[in-house]
Structure 1
Amino acid sequence: MKGVFSAPGDYIHFKSQVPLHKIPVGSKQWRYYDFGPKSVAPLICLPGTAGTADVYYKQIMSLSLKGYRVISVDIPRVWNHTEWIQAFEKFLDAIDVHHIHLYGTSLGGFLAQLFAHKRPRRVRSLILSNSFLDTRSFSAAMPWAPIVSWTPSFLLKRYVLTGIRDGPLEPFIADSVDFVVSQVETLSKDDLASRLKLTTDDASVGPLLLSDSLITIMDTNDLCAIPQELKDQLSERYPEARRAYLKSGGDFPFLSRPDEVNLHLQLHLRRVGVEPRPDLVHNIPKGDIGGSPSKENDDDSDKSDKDNTRD
Protein backbone atom coordinates (compact mmCIF):
# COMPACT_ATOMS: atom_id res chain seq x y z
CA MET A 1 0.00 0.00 0.00
CA LYS A 2 1.79 3.10 -1.20
CA GLY A 3 0.91 6.49 0.23
CA VAL A 4 0.27 9.62 -1.77
CA PHE A 5 2.65 11.63 0.37
CA SER A 6 5.27 9.51 2.10
CA ALA A 7 8.67 10.86 1.08
CA PRO A 8 10.67 12.94 3.62
CA GLY A 9 10.47 16.04 1.40
CA ASP A 10 6.68 16.10 1.59
CA TYR A 11 6.75 18.38 4.63
CA ILE A 12 8.32 21.16 2.58
CA HIS A 13 5.61 20.69 -0.04
CA PHE A 14 2.95 20.67 2.68
CA LYS A 15 4.22 23.95 4.15
CA SER A 16 4.17 25.56 0.72
CA GLN A 17 0.57 24.57 0.07
CA VAL A 18 -1.35 24.51 3.37
CA PRO A 19 -1.68 27.82 5.25
CA LEU A 20 -0.86 27.99 8.94
CA HIS A 21 -3.43 29.95 10.92
CA LYS A 22 -2.65 31.89 14.10
CA ILE A 23 -5.49 33.50 16.02
CA PRO A 24 -5.83 34.88 19.54
CA VAL A 25 -8.88 33.59 21.42
CA GLY A 26 -9.21 35.35 24.75
CA SER A 27 -5.76 35.21 26.34
CA LYS A 28 -4.67 32.15 24.34
CA GLN A 29 -2.85 32.02 21.04
CA TRP A 30 -3.99 29.20 18.76
CA ARG A 31 -1.81 27.82 15.97
CA TYR A 32 -3.59 25.42 13.62
CA TYR A 33 -4.13 24.05 10.13
CA ASP A 34 -7.62 23.72 8.64
CA PHE A 35 -7.79 22.00 5.26
CA GLY A 36 -10.59 20.34 3.34
CA PRO A 37 -14.23 21.08 2.45
CA LYS A 38 -15.75 23.28 5.14
CA SER A 39 -19.15 21.60 4.78
CA VAL A 40 -17.77 18.32 6.18
CA ALA A 41 -17.75 17.69 9.94
CA PRO A 42 -14.08 18.11 10.87
CA LEU A 43 -11.63 15.59 12.27
CA ILE A 44 -9.62 17.55 14.84
CA CYS A 45 -6.14 16.21 15.63
CA LEU A 46 -4.65 16.78 19.10
CA PRO A 47 -0.91 16.03 19.51
CA GLY A 48 0.98 14.59 22.43
CA THR A 49 3.39 16.39 24.72
CA ALA A 50 6.14 16.46 22.09
CA GLY A 51 3.90 17.23 19.12
CA THR A 52 2.73 20.31 17.26
CA ALA A 53 0.00 20.89 14.70
CA ASP A 54 2.60 20.04 12.04
CA VAL A 55 3.04 16.39 13.06
CA TYR A 56 -0.25 15.47 11.37
CA TYR A 57 0.71 16.87 7.97
CA LYS A 58 0.43 13.44 6.32
CA GLN A 59 -3.15 13.10 7.57
CA ILE A 60 -4.06 16.61 6.46
CA MET A 61 -2.75 16.07 2.93
CA SER A 62 -4.11 12.57 2.37
CA LEU A 63 -7.59 12.94 3.91
CA SER A 64 -8.29 16.38 2.48
CA LEU A 65 -7.64 15.03 -1.00
CA LYS A 66 -10.44 12.53 -0.43
CA GLY A 67 -12.94 15.17 0.62
CA TYR A 68 -12.51 15.19 4.40
CA ARG A 69 -11.87 18.27 6.51
CA VAL A 70 -8.91 17.99 8.89
CA ILE A 71 -8.02 20.52 11.59
CA SER A 72 -4.72 20.04 13.41
CA VAL A 73 -3.96 22.20 16.43
CA ASP A 74 -1.14 23.04 18.78
CA ILE A 75 -2.04 22.59 22.43
CA PRO A 76 -2.07 26.19 23.65
CA ARG A 77 -0.34 27.40 26.79
CA VAL A 78 -2.81 26.28 29.47
CA TRP A 79 -1.89 25.26 32.98
CA ASN A 80 -4.71 22.99 34.16
CA HIS A 81 -7.36 20.74 32.67
CA THR A 82 -10.29 23.08 33.35
CA GLU A 83 -8.44 25.83 31.49
CA TRP A 84 -7.87 23.42 28.58
CA ILE A 85 -11.58 22.57 28.29
CA GLN A 86 -12.62 26.22 28.40
CA ALA A 87 -9.91 27.33 25.95
CA PHE A 88 -10.70 24.57 23.46
CA GLU A 89 -14.41 25.34 23.53
CA LYS A 90 -13.72 29.03 22.88
CA PHE A 91 -11.44 28.06 20.00
CA LEU A 92 -14.19 25.93 18.42
CA ASP A 93 -16.61 28.82 18.77
CA ALA A 94 -14.10 31.20 17.21
CA ILE A 95 -13.70 29.04 14.08
CA ASP A 96 -17.45 28.36 13.98
CA VAL A 97 -17.21 24.59 14.49
CA HIS A 98 -19.81 22.97 16.71
CA HIS A 99 -19.78 19.17 16.33
CA ILE A 100 -16.41 17.46 16.11
CA HIS A 101 -14.62 14.15 15.78
CA LEU A 102 -11.42 14.03 17.82
CA TYR A 103 -8.23 12.13 17.02
CA GLY A 104 -5.86 12.35 19.99
CA THR A 105 -2.47 10.74 20.48
CA SER A 106 -0.85 10.29 23.90
CA LEU A 107 -1.58 13.49 25.90
CA GLY A 108 -3.86 14.59 23.06
CA GLY A 109 -5.98 11.48 23.54
CA PHE A 110 -6.28 12.19 27.25
CA LEU A 111 -7.32 15.80 26.61
CA ALA A 112 -9.81 14.60 23.98
CA GLN A 113 -11.46 12.34 26.55
CA LEU A 114 -11.60 15.11 29.14
CA PHE A 115 -13.31 17.38 26.63
CA ALA A 116 -15.76 14.63 25.63
CA HIS A 117 -16.60 14.11 29.30
CA LYS A 118 -17.22 17.78 30.05
CA ARG A 119 -18.71 18.84 26.69
CA PRO A 120 -20.54 15.71 25.49
CA ARG A 121 -22.86 17.55 23.11
CA ARG A 122 -19.94 18.72 20.98
CA VAL A 123 -18.01 15.46 20.56
CA ARG A 124 -19.44 13.00 18.04
CA SER A 125 -16.67 10.38 18.15
CA LEU A 126 -13.14 9.66 19.40
CA ILE A 127 -10.02 8.03 17.97
CA LEU A 128 -7.50 7.41 20.74
CA SER A 129 -3.92 6.36 19.97
CA ASN A 130 -1.29 5.29 22.53
CA SER A 131 -3.26 7.16 25.19
CA PHE A 132 -4.30 6.85 28.85
CA LEU A 133 -7.08 7.47 31.37
CA ASP A 134 -5.33 9.23 34.25
CA THR A 135 -2.10 11.02 35.08
CA ARG A 136 -1.11 9.42 38.39
CA SER A 137 1.77 7.36 37.04
CA PHE A 138 3.22 10.41 35.26
CA SER A 139 3.04 12.62 38.35
CA ALA A 140 4.66 9.85 40.42
CA ALA A 141 7.50 9.62 37.89
CA MET A 142 8.08 13.38 37.94
CA PRO A 143 8.49 14.52 41.57
CA TRP A 144 9.77 17.91 40.40
CA ALA A 145 6.47 18.65 38.61
CA PRO A 146 5.55 21.47 41.06
CA ILE A 147 8.56 23.50 39.90
CA VAL A 148 8.19 22.75 36.19
CA SER A 149 7.50 26.43 35.45
CA TRP A 150 10.97 27.37 36.72
CA THR A 151 12.85 24.53 35.02
CA PRO A 152 15.34 25.51 32.27
CA SER A 153 14.22 24.86 28.73
CA PHE A 154 16.98 22.35 27.89
CA LEU A 155 15.97 20.16 30.85
CA LEU A 156 12.31 20.27 29.82
CA LYS A 157 13.21 19.22 26.28
CA ARG A 158 15.39 16.42 27.57
CA TYR A 159 12.58 15.15 29.79
CA VAL A 160 9.93 15.37 27.05
CA LEU A 161 12.11 13.26 24.77
CA THR A 162 13.03 10.71 27.44
CA GLY A 163 12.19 7.20 26.30
CA ILE A 164 11.35 8.13 22.73
CA ARG A 165 14.81 7.61 21.26
CA ASP A 166 15.88 4.58 23.30
CA GLY A 167 17.16 1.53 21.45
CA PRO A 168 17.79 0.86 17.77
CA LEU A 169 14.89 1.90 15.58
CA GLU A 170 13.68 0.87 12.14
CA PRO A 171 14.44 3.64 9.62
CA PHE A 172 10.81 4.70 9.16
CA ILE A 173 10.38 5.02 12.93
CA ALA A 174 13.73 6.82 13.31
CA ASP A 175 12.58 9.33 10.68
CA SER A 176 9.36 9.99 12.61
CA VAL A 177 11.32 10.52 15.83
CA ASP A 178 13.69 12.94 14.12
CA PHE A 179 10.76 14.93 12.78
CA VAL A 180 9.13 15.20 16.21
CA VAL A 181 12.45 16.16 17.82
CA SER A 182 12.72 18.99 15.27
CA GLN A 183 9.23 20.12 16.29
CA VAL A 184 10.11 20.06 20.00
CA GLU A 185 12.94 22.45 19.19
CA THR A 186 10.35 24.99 18.03
CA LEU A 187 8.48 24.96 21.36
CA SER A 188 9.14 27.62 23.96
CA LYS A 189 10.01 26.92 27.57
CA ASP A 190 6.48 27.88 28.67
CA ASP A 191 4.90 25.68 25.98
CA LEU A 192 6.85 22.66 27.22
CA ALA A 193 6.21 23.46 30.88
CA SER A 194 2.45 23.80 30.35
CA ARG A 195 2.24 20.46 28.52
CA LEU A 196 4.17 18.68 31.25
CA LYS A 197 1.82 20.30 33.76
CA LEU A 198 -1.18 18.85 31.89
CA THR A 199 0.51 15.43 31.92
CA THR A 200 1.34 15.43 35.64
CA ASP A 201 -1.51 17.32 37.32
CA ASP A 202 -3.75 14.76 39.02
CA ALA A 203 -6.76 14.04 36.84
CA SER A 204 -8.70 11.10 35.47
CA VAL A 205 -11.31 10.69 32.78
CA GLY A 206 -14.86 10.37 34.08
CA PRO A 207 -17.60 8.31 32.42
CA LEU A 208 -18.39 9.37 28.86
CA LEU A 209 -21.90 9.70 27.49
CA LEU A 210 -20.40 8.69 24.15
CA SER A 211 -21.16 5.12 23.14
CA ASP A 212 -18.19 2.74 22.84
CA SER A 213 -19.31 2.10 19.27
CA LEU A 214 -18.25 5.67 18.44
CA ILE A 215 -14.70 5.15 19.76
CA THR A 216 -11.71 3.65 17.95
CA ILE A 217 -8.58 2.68 19.88
CA MET A 218 -5.51 2.70 17.63
CA ASP A 219 -2.38 1.44 19.39
CA THR A 220 1.04 0.31 18.25
CA ASN A 221 2.33 -3.02 19.51
CA ASP A 222 6.01 -2.11 19.58
CA LEU A 223 8.21 0.36 21.47
CA CYS A 224 6.10 3.15 22.94
CA ALA A 225 6.61 5.70 25.72
CA ILE A 226 3.10 5.01 27.09
CA PRO A 227 3.31 1.89 29.32
CA GLN A 228 1.26 -1.09 28.13
CA GLU A 229 -0.54 -1.15 31.48
CA LEU A 230 -2.02 2.30 30.80
CA LYS A 231 -3.07 1.33 27.28
CA ASP A 232 -4.72 -1.80 28.69
CA GLN A 233 -6.67 0.31 31.18
CA LEU A 234 -7.99 2.41 28.31
CA SER A 235 -9.12 -0.69 26.42
CA GLU A 236 -10.87 -2.02 29.53
CA ARG A 237 -12.74 1.27 29.99
CA TYR A 238 -14.17 1.06 26.45
CA PRO A 239 -14.68 -2.69 25.91
CA GLU A 240 -16.92 -2.30 22.85
CA ALA A 241 -14.66 0.23 21.10
CA ARG A 242 -13.29 -0.70 17.69
CA ARG A 243 -9.68 -1.89 17.82
CA ALA A 244 -7.17 -0.81 15.19
CA TYR A 245 -3.85 -2.45 16.06
CA LEU A 246 -0.64 -1.46 14.30
CA LYS A 247 2.11 -4.06 14.49
CA SER A 248 4.73 -1.32 14.55
CA GLY A 249 5.02 2.41 14.33
CA GLY A 250 6.52 3.52 17.63
CA ASP A 251 5.19 6.62 19.38
CA PHE A 252 4.29 8.45 16.18
CA PRO A 253 2.51 6.03 13.82
CA PHE A 254 0.79 8.96 12.08
CA LEU A 255 4.27 9.80 10.72
CA SER A 256 5.88 6.36 10.51
CA ARG A 257 2.83 4.41 9.26
CA PRO A 258 0.69 7.09 7.60
CA ASP A 259 -0.98 4.79 5.06
CA GLU A 260 -2.30 2.45 7.75
CA VAL A 261 -3.27 5.28 10.11
CA ASN A 262 -5.06 7.20 7.36
CA LEU A 263 -6.97 4.08 6.34
CA HIS A 264 -8.09 3.50 9.96
CA LEU A 265 -9.13 7.15 10.25
CA GLN A 266 -11.22 6.86 7.09
CA LEU A 267 -12.84 3.64 8.28
CA HIS A 268 -13.70 5.29 11.58
CA LEU A 269 -15.18 8.38 9.95
CA ARG A 270 -17.29 6.29 7.58
CA ARG A 271 -18.48 4.15 10.47
CA VAL A 272 -19.64 7.18 12.48
CA GLY A 273 -21.43 8.70 9.51
CA VAL A 274 -19.00 11.34 8.24
CA GLU A 275 -19.40 11.50 4.48
CA PRO A 276 -16.48 13.01 2.55
CA ARG A 277 -17.20 15.47 -0.22
CA PRO A 278 -14.86 14.54 -3.08
CA ASP A 279 -17.14 16.57 -5.34
CA LEU A 280 -15.84 19.68 -3.57
CA VAL A 281 -12.23 18.70 -4.25
CA HIS A 282 -11.62 20.14 -7.69
CA ASN A 283 -9.06 18.79 -10.09
CA ILE A 284 -6.16 21.10 -10.83
CA PRO A 285 -2.88 20.53 -12.72
CA LYS A 286 -1.07 17.36 -11.68
CA GLY A 287 1.48 17.84 -8.92
CA ASP A 288 -0.16 21.03 -7.68
CA ILE A 289 -2.19 21.16 -4.50
CA GLY A 290 -4.24 24.20 -3.71
CA GLY A 291 -4.09 26.07 -0.44
CA SER A 292 -7.86 26.30 -0.06
CA PRO A 293 -10.73 23.80 -0.07
CA SER A 294 -11.78 24.94 -3.52
CA LYS A 295 -8.39 24.13 -5.05
CA GLU A 296 -7.58 20.64 -3.86
CA ASN A 297 -6.57 17.76 -6.04
CA ASP A 298 -8.74 14.68 -5.94
CA ASP A 299 -6.90 11.45 -5.27
CA ASP A 300 -8.66 8.25 -4.33
CA SER A 301 -5.76 5.88 -4.77
CA ASP A 302 -6.49 4.13 -1.49
CA LYS A 303 -10.01 3.22 -2.63
CA SER A 304 -9.06 -0.42 -3.02
CA ASP A 305 -7.43 -0.73 0.40
CA LYS A 306 -8.95 -3.49 2.40
CA ASP A 307 -9.99 -3.36 6.02
CA ASN A 308 -7.34 -5.27 7.89
CA THR A 309 -8.64 -4.34 11.30
CA ARG A 310 -10.44 -6.36 13.88
CA ASP A 311 -13.73 -5.05 15.20
Structure 2
Amino acid sequence: MTAAAAVPIVFVHGTRFSAGQWSMQLAALRDEFPVVAVDLPGHGERRAQPWSLSAATEIIASAVDSLDRGPALVVGHSLGGYAALEFARRRPEHLRGLVLAGASASTRGPWTAPYRLVAGLVPRIPEDRLTRWNDRFLRRLYPREVVEATIRSGYAFHTLPTAWGEVLGRFDAGAMRHVKAPVLILNGEKDPAFRSGERDFARAHPHARVELIPRARHLANFDAPEAFTDVVRRFAHQLSAAN
Protein backbone atom coordinates (compact mmCIF):
# COMPACT_ATOMS: atom_id res chain seq x y z
CA MET A 1 0.00 0.00 0.00
CA THR A 2 1.39 3.41 -0.95
CA ALA A 3 1.29 6.37 1.40
CA ALA A 4 -1.15 8.05 -0.98
CA ALA A 5 -3.58 5.15 -0.59
CA ALA A 6 -3.49 5.10 3.22
CA VAL A 7 -6.83 5.96 4.75
CA PRO A 8 -6.74 8.95 7.16
CA ILE A 9 -7.82 8.17 10.73
CA VAL A 10 -9.54 10.48 13.24
CA PHE A 11 -9.74 9.38 16.89
CA VAL A 12 -12.54 10.66 19.16
CA HIS A 13 -12.17 10.23 22.93
CA GLY A 14 -14.65 9.09 25.56
CA THR A 15 -16.39 10.66 28.55
CA ARG A 16 -14.33 13.19 30.57
CA PHE A 17 -11.10 12.46 28.67
CA SER A 18 -9.37 14.25 25.79
CA ALA A 19 -7.29 13.62 22.70
CA GLY A 20 -4.61 12.37 25.09
CA GLN A 21 -6.57 9.12 25.43
CA TRP A 22 -5.15 8.09 22.05
CA SER A 23 -1.45 8.80 22.62
CA MET A 24 -0.44 5.15 22.21
CA GLN A 25 -2.48 4.70 19.04
CA LEU A 26 -1.19 7.92 17.46
CA ALA A 27 2.42 6.95 18.16
CA ALA A 28 1.93 3.47 16.72
CA LEU A 29 0.06 4.47 13.57
CA ARG A 30 1.45 7.82 12.46
CA ASP A 31 4.16 6.28 10.27
CA GLU A 32 1.55 4.33 8.27
CA PHE A 33 -1.49 6.61 8.17
CA PRO A 34 -2.38 10.28 8.41
CA VAL A 35 -3.78 10.39 11.96
CA VAL A 36 -5.19 12.96 14.37
CA ALA A 37 -7.10 12.92 17.65
CA VAL A 38 -9.63 15.60 18.55
CA ASP A 39 -10.80 17.28 21.73
CA LEU A 40 -14.60 17.31 21.86
CA PRO A 41 -16.43 20.45 23.05
CA GLY A 42 -15.85 21.06 26.75
CA HIS A 43 -12.84 18.71 26.83
CA GLY A 44 -9.07 19.16 26.74
CA GLU A 45 -8.04 22.33 24.93
CA ARG A 46 -11.72 23.02 24.18
CA ARG A 47 -12.63 23.01 27.86
CA ALA A 48 -14.31 26.42 27.65
CA GLN A 49 -16.45 25.48 24.64
CA PRO A 50 -20.05 24.45 25.45
CA TRP A 51 -20.93 20.85 24.69
CA SER A 52 -23.29 19.92 21.88
CA LEU A 53 -23.44 17.00 19.48
CA SER A 54 -23.73 19.49 16.66
CA ALA A 55 -20.44 21.13 17.66
CA ALA A 56 -18.85 17.71 18.13
CA THR A 57 -19.70 16.67 14.57
CA GLU A 58 -18.23 19.88 13.19
CA ILE A 59 -15.01 19.31 15.13
CA ILE A 60 -14.72 15.80 13.68
CA ALA A 61 -15.43 17.14 10.19
CA SER A 62 -12.74 19.81 10.61
CA ALA A 63 -10.26 17.13 11.69
CA VAL A 64 -11.05 15.10 8.56
CA ASP A 65 -10.53 18.22 6.45
CA SER A 66 -7.25 19.02 8.22
CA LEU A 67 -5.76 15.72 7.04
CA ASP A 68 -6.62 16.71 3.46
CA ARG A 69 -6.95 13.12 2.28
CA GLY A 70 -10.67 12.80 1.69
CA PRO A 71 -13.12 10.76 3.78
CA ALA A 72 -11.63 9.26 6.94
CA LEU A 73 -11.88 6.28 9.22
CA VAL A 74 -13.36 7.67 12.45
CA VAL A 75 -12.61 5.76 15.66
CA GLY A 76 -14.89 6.79 18.53
CA HIS A 77 -14.79 5.48 22.08
CA SER A 78 -17.87 5.58 24.35
CA LEU A 79 -19.16 9.19 24.25
CA GLY A 80 -16.92 9.68 21.21
CA GLY A 81 -18.52 6.67 19.56
CA TYR A 82 -21.98 8.16 19.86
CA ALA A 83 -20.65 11.49 18.60
CA ALA A 84 -19.18 9.57 15.66
CA LEU A 85 -22.58 8.00 14.96
CA GLU A 86 -24.09 11.49 14.84
CA PHE A 87 -21.24 12.59 12.58
CA ALA A 88 -21.98 9.65 10.25
CA ARG A 89 -25.59 10.80 9.98
CA ARG A 90 -24.82 14.47 9.42
CA ARG A 91 -21.63 14.29 7.35
CA PRO A 92 -21.67 10.97 5.44
CA GLU A 93 -19.46 12.36 2.69
CA HIS A 94 -16.62 12.68 5.23
CA LEU A 95 -16.75 9.04 6.38
CA ARG A 96 -14.80 6.12 4.89
CA GLY A 97 -15.24 3.77 7.83
CA LEU A 98 -16.36 3.78 11.45
CA VAL A 99 -15.02 2.04 14.55
CA LEU A 100 -17.47 2.06 17.46
CA ALA A 101 -15.40 1.21 20.54
CA GLY A 102 -17.40 0.71 23.73
CA ALA A 103 -20.38 2.41 22.09
CA SER A 104 -22.70 -0.41 21.05
CA ALA A 105 -25.31 -0.15 23.80
CA SER A 106 -28.64 1.58 23.37
CA THR A 107 -28.75 4.87 25.25
CA ARG A 108 -32.51 4.51 25.59
CA GLY A 109 -34.56 2.64 28.15
CA PRO A 110 -34.40 1.87 31.87
CA TRP A 111 -30.81 0.61 31.89
CA THR A 112 -29.63 4.20 31.46
CA ALA A 113 -30.99 5.21 34.89
CA PRO A 114 -27.64 4.69 36.71
CA TYR A 115 -25.92 6.93 34.16
CA ARG A 116 -28.49 9.66 34.70
CA LEU A 117 -27.90 9.30 38.44
CA VAL A 118 -24.14 9.67 38.04
CA ALA A 119 -24.62 12.69 35.77
CA GLY A 120 -26.67 14.30 38.50
CA LEU A 121 -24.16 13.49 41.25
CA VAL A 122 -20.97 14.64 39.51
CA PRO A 123 -21.64 18.40 39.87
CA ARG A 124 -22.04 17.94 43.64
CA ILE A 125 -18.49 16.59 44.09
CA PRO A 126 -15.56 19.05 44.11
CA GLU A 127 -13.63 18.85 40.87
CA ASP A 128 -10.26 18.54 42.58
CA ARG A 129 -11.51 15.46 44.44
CA LEU A 130 -12.78 13.88 41.22
CA THR A 131 -9.43 14.62 39.60
CA ARG A 132 -7.49 12.91 42.43
CA TRP A 133 -9.78 9.87 42.24
CA ASN A 134 -9.33 9.59 38.48
CA ASP A 135 -5.58 10.07 38.63
CA ARG A 136 -5.26 7.31 41.25
CA PHE A 137 -7.60 5.03 39.31
CA LEU A 138 -5.66 5.35 36.07
CA ARG A 139 -2.21 5.09 37.65
CA ARG A 140 -3.20 2.05 39.67
CA LEU A 141 -4.56 0.12 36.68
CA TYR A 142 -2.34 1.15 33.77
CA PRO A 143 1.33 1.77 32.94
CA ARG A 144 2.46 5.38 33.05
CA GLU A 145 3.13 5.59 29.31
CA VAL A 146 -0.45 4.52 28.55
CA VAL A 147 -2.27 7.11 30.66
CA GLU A 148 0.13 9.99 31.32
CA ALA A 149 -1.10 12.06 28.35
CA THR A 150 -4.68 11.63 29.54
CA ILE A 151 -3.82 12.67 33.09
CA ARG A 152 -1.79 15.64 31.89
CA SER A 153 -4.69 16.90 29.75
CA GLY A 154 -7.13 16.87 32.68
CA TYR A 155 -10.77 15.83 32.87
CA ALA A 156 -14.03 17.38 31.73
CA PHE A 157 -16.28 16.64 34.70
CA HIS A 158 -18.13 19.92 34.20
CA THR A 159 -19.23 18.78 30.74
CA LEU A 160 -20.38 15.29 31.72
CA PRO A 161 -23.98 16.14 32.76
CA THR A 162 -24.69 18.08 29.56
CA ALA A 163 -22.99 15.56 27.29
CA TRP A 164 -24.73 12.56 28.81
CA GLY A 165 -27.96 14.52 28.95
CA GLU A 166 -27.88 14.87 25.16
CA VAL A 167 -26.69 11.34 24.37
CA LEU A 168 -28.95 9.44 26.78
CA GLY A 169 -32.30 8.76 25.17
CA ARG A 170 -30.97 9.43 21.66
CA PHE A 171 -29.17 6.37 20.24
CA ASP A 172 -30.05 2.76 19.60
CA ALA A 173 -29.28 0.22 16.89
CA GLY A 174 -31.51 2.16 14.50
CA ALA A 175 -28.79 4.82 14.30
CA MET A 176 -26.74 2.36 12.25
CA ARG A 177 -29.12 2.81 9.33
CA HIS A 178 -27.67 6.27 8.78
CA VAL A 179 -24.08 5.00 8.45
CA LYS A 180 -23.12 4.67 4.78
CA ALA A 181 -19.62 3.25 5.37
CA PRO A 182 -18.30 -0.07 6.72
CA VAL A 183 -18.45 -0.40 10.50
CA LEU A 184 -16.30 -2.27 13.01
CA ILE A 185 -17.86 -2.70 16.45
CA LEU A 186 -14.86 -3.06 18.73
CA ASN A 187 -15.45 -3.93 22.37
CA GLY A 188 -13.54 -5.16 25.36
CA GLU A 189 -14.47 -8.76 26.08
CA LYS A 190 -15.21 -7.83 29.70
CA ASP A 191 -17.38 -4.75 29.04
CA PRO A 192 -20.89 -6.21 29.49
CA ALA A 193 -22.73 -2.89 29.68
CA PHE A 194 -21.50 -1.56 26.35
CA ARG A 195 -21.54 -4.98 24.70
CA SER A 196 -25.22 -5.35 25.51
CA GLY A 197 -26.40 -4.16 22.10
CA GLU A 198 -23.48 -5.19 19.91
CA ARG A 199 -25.44 -7.88 18.02
CA ASP A 200 -28.38 -5.54 17.42
CA PHE A 201 -26.04 -2.80 16.22
CA ALA A 202 -24.26 -5.22 13.87
CA ARG A 203 -27.51 -6.64 12.47
CA ALA A 204 -28.77 -3.14 11.73
CA HIS A 205 -25.99 -2.47 9.19
CA PRO A 206 -25.21 -4.49 6.06
CA HIS A 207 -21.44 -4.06 6.41
CA ALA A 208 -20.80 -4.25 10.15
CA ARG A 209 -18.95 -6.82 12.18
CA VAL A 210 -18.03 -7.30 15.82
CA GLU A 211 -14.53 -7.87 17.16
CA LEU A 212 -13.54 -8.28 20.81
CA ILE A 213 -10.31 -7.43 22.62
CA PRO A 214 -9.63 -10.43 24.91
CA ARG A 215 -9.75 -9.70 28.66
CA ALA A 216 -10.17 -5.97 28.06
CA ARG A 217 -12.82 -3.84 29.77
CA HIS A 218 -14.49 -0.59 28.74
CA LEU A 219 -11.18 1.26 28.35
CA ALA A 220 -9.96 -1.36 25.91
CA ASN A 221 -7.33 0.89 24.34
CA PHE A 222 -5.77 1.29 27.81
CA ASP A 223 -6.17 -2.36 28.84
CA ALA A 224 -4.60 -3.70 25.64
CA PRO A 225 -3.15 -0.82 23.61
CA GLU A 226 -1.24 -2.97 21.14
CA ALA A 227 -4.16 -5.30 20.47
CA PHE A 228 -6.54 -2.35 20.07
CA THR A 229 -4.15 -0.62 17.69
CA ASP A 230 -3.65 -3.78 15.63
CA VAL A 231 -7.40 -4.16 15.11
CA VAL A 232 -7.73 -0.54 13.97
CA ARG A 233 -4.68 -0.97 11.70
CA ARG A 234 -6.15 -4.05 10.02
CA PHE A 235 -9.49 -2.36 9.45
CA ALA A 236 -7.77 0.72 8.01
CA HIS A 237 -5.75 -1.46 5.64
CA GLN A 238 -8.94 -3.21 4.51
CA LEU A 239 -10.56 0.15 3.78
CA SER A 240 -7.47 1.32 1.91
CA ALA A 241 -7.39 -1.86 -0.19
CA ALA A 242 -11.09 -1.62 -0.98
CA ASN A 243 -10.63 1.94 -2.19
Task: Give the TM-score, by structure 2 length.
Answer: 0.72
- Hey, what does 1:253 align to over in structure 2? 220
Aligned partners of 2:10 and 2:63 also within 8 Å: no
- Hey, what does 2:141 align to over in structure 1? 174
Of Structure 1 and Structure 2, the greater helix share is in 2
How many residues get paired? 225
> Counterparts of 2:128 and 2:192 in 1: how far apart (Å)?
18
Aligned partners of 2:119 and 2:161 also within 8 Å: no
- Hey, what does 2:11 align to over in structure 1? 45
- Hey, what does 2:108 align to over in structure 1? 136
Alignment partner of 2:30: what SS?
helix
> Counterparts of 2:7 and 2:72 in 1: how far apart (Å)?
6
Q: CA 1:113–1:176 in 2, change beyond 3 Å: closer, same or farther?
A: farther
- Structure 1 residues not aligned, in runs of 5+: 1-36, 166-170, 276-311
- Hey, what does 2:61 align to over in structure 1? 89
- Hey, what does 2:95 align to over in structure 1? 123
Alignment partner of 1:54: what SS?
helix
Aligned partners of 1:46 and 1:105 also within 8 Å: yes
Q: CA 1:184–1:134 in 2, change beyond 3 Å: closer, same or farther?
A: farther
- Hey, what does 1:71 align to over in structure 2? 36
Residue identity opposite 1:64 in structure 2: R
Q: CA 1:242–1:149 in 2, change beyond 3 Å: closer, same or farther?
A: closer
Alignment partner of 1:226: what SS?
helix
Aligned partners of 2:11 and 2:36 also within 8 Å: yes
Residue identity opposite 2:185 in structure 1: I
Instruction: Tell me which of 187, 190, 200 is aligned to 1:233.
Output: 200
Aligned partners of 1:249 and 1:256 also within 8 Å: yes
State the Cα distance separating 1:192 from its structure 2 match.
Answer: 3.4
> Counterparts of 1:46 and 1:119 in 2: how far apart (Å)?
15
Question: What RMSD in Å do the two structures reach over aligned CA positions?
Answer: 3.9
Aligned partners of 2:14 and 2:77 also within 8 Å: yes
Residue identity opposite 1:210 in structure 2: K
- Hey, what does 2:163 align to over in structure 1? 195
Q: Deviations over 1:121-172 (max 9, x none)?
A: 11111111121364224653345589689644449949x97xxx7xxxxx99
Task: Give the TM-score, by structure 1 length.
Answer: 0.58
Structure with bigger gyration radius: 1
Residue identity opposite 1:68 in structure 2: F
Question: Taking every aligned residue pair, what percent have the same amino acid on both sides?
Answer: 16
Aligned partners of 2:185 and 2:211 also within 8 Å: yes
- Hey, what does 1:265 align to over in structure 2? 232
Residue identity opposite 2:155 in structure 1: L
Residue identity opposite 1:126 in structure 2: L
